[in-house]
Amino acid sequence: MKILYVIDMYDKETNGMTISARTFMNELRARGHEVRFLCASDKPEEFKYCLPSWDIGFVRTIMQKQGAAFAGIDRKVIAAAIDGVDIVHTFMAFKLSKVVYDMASAKGIPVIAAFHIQPENISYNFSPLRIVPGIDSLLYRHFRRKYYRYVRDIHCPTEFIANELVKHKYRAKMHIISNGVAELFTPGKGERPPEWGDKFTIVSIGRLSPEKRHRVLIKAVSESKYHDKIQLVFCGTGPRDIWLKKFAAKMNVNASFGFYTRPELVKILRAADLYAHPSKVEVESISCMEAFSTGLVPIIADSHLSAARHFAIDDRSLFMVDDHKDLIKKIEHFMEHPEEVSELRKQYIEKGHDFALSKSVNKIMDVYNEMLSRGST
């Protein structure tokens, strides 16, 4: 099968959506399928159809801070990318996806649209929007009107986001398929970096942005009775990078920050003691799934805007969102009861098997075949 992935940003290695698309591509190729990418890029590769970035001054600055990019439109490049493909899979709800949809539909090529970006991801990062009453519902409506009302199939990484779309009157068929955990995220012996010493190490992975609520974790540790015995390891980059480093220093918390490759992340997860996921907004949270698949017990914010809360095996792995005092109670409980950590570790490793990438690719292939048998969009 020949598949075209349409994603504005391919070269952004810090972006979770891009990582998921690349991971799917690798698995599909390993099964003998051809996967092309249509994206904004100035780094030609044999499978990429490169478009210019949408380069508008203030937009460029904002998007760079978010580790994101928009693609410009070049219909000749788009036509070449579409030529000969069986399925088009779009990942974002912006102009490129709609143009591709129109051109693919005219040729009778089925299109499935993924839903990866919650409105809250936008409104929390552009703070002036938060003063607009009902801004998130307005953004759901905007996405629906501009793009999703045209497609018959939507790929939803979680049941949570599928329910949100139904609530906001999206009428397409929802295909609930996890983005999946790559095979390398498995349990194993980890080597602790010397700089961690003998401290109880808590890892948190994710873009350093306001809705991820890293400050809640820092504040919790700063008030813990085990304050000096805890090491925080933040894996990721983002617009709050400098602010969080300064905040951690101000709160006198042992914390390191950095961007790590996937193999490096596996080593870190295997060596750590606990995983913290304080984020308020999550369509799925691959990072949390990767963490517990390696055997790290998570503590997750119980936010109604986050799918990640559904990963918790029981209440020991949940804390009240934005409540740093409740978070430190949960952390201290696990520090004082290592036998519970061992018990839960086994359960989370088993849970991780449900999200294996191979299972997700089997499901998406079933959807592709269903769409092909049905015919044009």
User: pLDDT class for 89, splitting at 50, 70, 90?
Assistant: very high
Residues 192 and 105 sit within 8 Å (Cβ to Cβ): no
Tell me which of 18 and 34 has the higher pLDDT.
34
Q: Say whether both 349 and 365 belong to one domain.
A: no
Give yes or no: residues 306 and 366 share one domain. Answer: no
The pLDDT value recorded for residue 56 is 57
Output the pLDDT for position 67.
Answer: 56
Q: Cα(12)–Cα(53) distance, rounded to whole angstroms?
A: 13
Give yes or no: residues 176 and 48 share one domain.
yes
Specify the number of domains making up the chain.
Answer: 2
Give, in order, the Cα–Cα distances in Å from 164 to each of 117, 121, 126, 138: 12, 14, 21, 13
Tens digits of residue pLDDT in 341-363: 999 999 999 999 999 999 999 99
> Taking each helix axis from N to C terminus, what angle separates 357-374 and 16-30, rounded to the nearest 10 degrees?
80
| Segment 370-375 mean pLDDT | 89
Whether residues 36 and 155 share a domain: the answer is: yes
Q: Is 207 within 8 Å of 234 (Cβ atoms)?
A: no
- 338 contacts: CB under 8 Å, gap ≥ 6: none
Question: Which pLDDT belongs to residue 58?
Answer: 47
CA distance 185 to 9: 24
Computed on alpha carbons and rounded to an integer, the radius of gyration of the chain in Å comes to 21
Place of tokens 């959807």: 367
Angle between helices 95-106 and 75-82 (to 10 degrees): 50
Residue 321: what pLDDT? 97
pLDDT tens, 318-342?
999 999 999 999 999 999 999 999 9
Same domain, 347 and 361: no
Question: What CATH code is carried by the domain that includes residue 126?
Answer: 3.40.50.2000
Same domain assignment for residues 89 and 232: no
Task: Answer yes or no: do 349 and 362 share one domain.
Answer: no
Quick one: what percent of the chain has pLDDT higher than 90? 79
Higher local confidence (pLDDT), 136 or 55: 136
Examine the domain organization and report whether 325 and 344 are in the same domain: yes
Task: Provide the pLDDT confidence category of residue 17 given band limits of 50, 70 and 90.
Answer: confident
13: pLDDT strictly greater than 80:
no
Give dist(CA 114, CA 92) in Å, integer. 7
Please choose, from the candidates 194, 143, 196, 190, the residue with its C-alpha nearest in 3D space to the C-alpha of residue 170: 143
Q: Same structural domain for residues 82 and 142?
A: yes
On the question of pLDDT at 62 being above 70, the answer is no
Tell whether 186 is covered by a domain. Answer: no
Q: Is residue 238 assigned to a domain?
A: yes
158 and 19 in a common domain = yes
CA–CA gap between residue 192 and residue 320 (Å, rounded): 30
Q: Does residue 188 sit within a domain? A: no
In a domain, 52, yes or no: yes
Instruction: Label residue 70 by pLDDT band (50, 70, 90).
Output: confident
**Residue ranges making up the domain that contains 349:** 194-353
Buried b (16+ CB within 10 A) or exposed e, 230-262: bbbbbbbbbbbbeebeebbeebebbbebebeee
- Domain assignment present for residue 187? The answer is no
Per-residue pLDDT of 108-167, as tens digits, reads 999 999 999 888 888 877 777 777 888 999 999 999 999 999 999 999 999 999 999 999
Tens of pLDDT, residues 19-36: 889 999 999 999 999 999
Residues 60 and 144 in one domain: yes
What pTM was computed for the model? 0.90
Q: At what angle do helices 338-353 and 324-336 cross, to 10 degrees?
A: 100
- Please answer whether residues 2 and 29 qualify as being in contact, where contact means their C-beta atoms are separated by less than 8 angstroms: no
pLDDT digits (tens, 9 = 90+) for 160-191: 999 999 999 999 999 999 999 999 999 998 88
220 in the same domain as 129: no
Each residue's pLDDT tens digit, 211-260:
999 999 999 999 999 999 999 999 999 889 999 999 999 999 999 999 99
Q: What mean pLDDT is reported for the chain?
A: 92
Q: Does the pLDDT at position 68 exceed 80?
A: no
Confidence bin at 66 (pLDDT 50/70/90): low
In a domain, 146, yes or no: yes
